[in-house]
Chains A and B, each alone.
Chain A
Amino acid sequence: MGYVAAKGGFDAIRAAEDLVANTRLEGKSSWLDLDQIIDRLGYAVDRVMGEGGLWDETTAARAFRQAEGDVIESAHLVRAHRSTLPRFGTTDAVDVDEIDVMRRIVPAFREPPGPQLLGRTLDYTGRLLDTPDEDDARRSALEAAAARAEQPAVDVTEATSDVRVPGRLLDVLRQMDLAVDRRSNDDPEPADIARVPARPGAPRSAVLSTMARAESGALVALWYRNILGPDRNLHEVTLGEVRHGRLPVRVQHPLIDEQVEIGNVRVTEVEAIEDLDGPDEDRTKFDVGYGLTFGHNERKAIAMANLDIALTRADAGSFLEQSILMTTDGLDSSGFLEHLKLPHYVTFRSMVERKTVERKTDERPSTEAVAS
């Protein structure tokens, strides 16, 4: 009867909100500052920005704190916040070749043109749980910060521009005449999936936008399903580029009518090279899939690039397009999953009623008559 009383709904909601506030706002520990979240929980903040489809570290950190660390819930807060904001315009398209890399690896070649720049990664660090004394750890963190403040910073601008803005492997493959050229002008204006729902038949820009905003785990699961599971749309993928870097954001200035740079966003960018072996494919060449998402999230960008090329190659009857467009959004899937908690007793009553009627065999129409 928990749902029933006329005022019970409000009272119950208020009580639930009180319980949440007790731990989140009051709690026993000290207040969690936004800069702590941004500095120390950066991967979570990046995931929230990617899945929320909004670049703003402060907003994402705020959401992450409010959602008590639930990334999907945080992305929901960010997106619902975005629904309240009017749109003033769109940024100008930037060429991703302008990326200023902080990390770049090219698994496909030992010495590619441009650097292999390992950058900041945990890939080659043993996954051993640190168990320091808490006080020691806090003290050494403060000391390290102080020491760094005294030393002159490493001048990263010294690095030459071809290191920070390297060419990309796809261009190398094109020079070697090893890449299928699929560049076309049939999708010039990037689809805005917030305004036009992306459905099967949507342009590639809509598919890429959908994946860039998708729930990271959903993309990884769909990728793995295509490797080991029943779908098998992926074959021999080699990664060409894995990058983490900064891209400029530019808009047309409304008063002076000139392009101005207003900041930058960090992105992870991936190119996945697929070996073409289909009967109607150019088997002398490779084809490349593309992945890009806000923040540092290599897992998601790699899955995205793989699924992009898989979709290009998928058979007409494949459900891959539908799976990418319809099942990878974290808000869609988890919202619908959780709605099962809502009362369903009206519909359930209707189901029970049909079972009862089915049992009354005397009410059956004479379907057997003709078979006699």
Chain B
Amino acid sequence: MTVLDVLPDAATAAVLDESSKREVRRAILTAIAIPGYQVPFGSREMPVARGWGSGGLQLTLAIVGQSDIVKVYDQGEDGGVNAANLRRLIRQSEGVNTTTDPREATVIQTRHRVPEDTLQSGQTLVLQVPVPEPLRGVERDMHELRRMHAEGDYSKMWVSLYEDLVRNGVITKTTGYPCLVGGRYVVATTPIPRWDVPPLHQAEFLSLFGAGREKRIYAIPPHTDVEPLTFDDVPFQVEEVSTPCRCGLVVPDGDRQSYQVELPQQDGSSIWACSDTDWCSRQRVGAGLLDPATLTETEVEL
């Protein structure tokens, strides 16, 4: 018999013990109080490896309660293997309900995407972050990085944007585009496409960023300015859509609709599909292109 055998069940946890969750919550509160500031935290080892959403997982485990409904998706897909694994862990560990519909979810854990649906007040978006340091590309020394953030000295970042424009004619930064949050800290918008950056600006919802390996948490609270770094005369560009998508909902040069991913075909051509699979399904049902029954399909319990 060990000490653990005499403890009440609540004190032992499947994944993360309660006092560690409290530590994470304290770091979250600091992060919300200082938008964009990377708060160090004692990141625990999770059943998933570093780099596989261990930071996002700790955030979600720390903030969910019995009444929460959690959505977990990866690349915009609820069915992705890693998303499925994380969802299983969260459900088993915390006993919460899960969903694929972001409109129903109170907490949405995501890798590389922001839902196409406009999230509302009261919802929390948890982003898995591989590299939280936006300036790493221009500076490796962590002492100097700390100084640059503390003094708001971002001229090296501006120089890199300048050099990019001079060399390539366009700003070639792709995902994880650097943004100024609340007019103070530059953050890495974890590899979400540029397409997903505008919804973070003056949002109704709370965004929490968790980097498990690098042991950092940062936040964009609701109603906070999120400005992609760019020159006044060089507009920020989101990804272009050049071909109609296969579901027939997105046409090029149309209004903002949905981020598209490319599906290369054997013959060298490509077709295009919406990255947000849940959004796409609902749109197709609405347009009479898909059987509504597919939406209510329940997941298998493992």
- A residues within 8 Å of B by Cβ? 3-14, 76, 79-80, 82-88, 192, 194-197, 199-201, 319, 322, 326, 331-332, 334-339, 342-347, 349-354, 356-358, 361, 363-365, 367
Contacts and interface: CB of A to CB of B under 8 A. Distances in A.
Contact of B172 (A13, A354, A367): A354
Nearest to A325: B142
Task: Classify chain B: how many residues form its interface, as a range.
Answer: 35 or more
A10 B299 contact: yes
Interface of B: 3-4, 7, 11-20, 23, 40-47, 49-52, 54, 74-85, 88, 100, 111-113, 130, 140-143, 165-166, 168-170, 172-175, 191-195, 213, 215, 233-234, 237, 239-240, 242, 259-262, 275, 277, 294, 297, 299-300, 302
Contacts of A14: 302
Given A350-B239, A367-B165, A335 B52 contact: yes
A7 B261 contact: no
Contact of B79 (A6, A85, A194, A364): A6
A146 B234 CA distance: 83
A363 B43 CA distance: 45
A194 to B, nearest CB: 6
The B interface is mostly helix, strand or loop, or mixed, namely loop
Given A197-B40, A197-B43, A339 B84 contact: no
B169 A332 contact: no
Nearest to A75: B45
B141 A9 contact: no
Given A76-B45, A86-B7, A334-B49, 16 more contacts: A3-B77, A3-B79, A5-B79, A10-B84, A85-B12, A86-B18, A319-B140, A331-B45, A338-B49, A342-B74, A344-B112, A345-B262, A349-B193, A356-B240, A358-B170, A365-B234
A232 B170 CA distance: 41
Contacts of B43: 197
A82 B46 CA distance: 9
Contacts, number: 198
In the complex, the 5 A-B pairs of residues with the closest C-beta atoms, listed nearest first: A335-B50, A9-B84, A339-B51, A364-B169, A335-B49
Contacts of B194: 350
Nearest to B239: A353
Contacts of B79: 3-9
A202 B268 CA distance: 53
Given A346-B261, A349-B262, A350-B193, A82 B23 contact: no
Nearest to A197: B215
Contacts of A352: 262
Contacts of B261: 345-346, 349
A354 B174 contact: yes
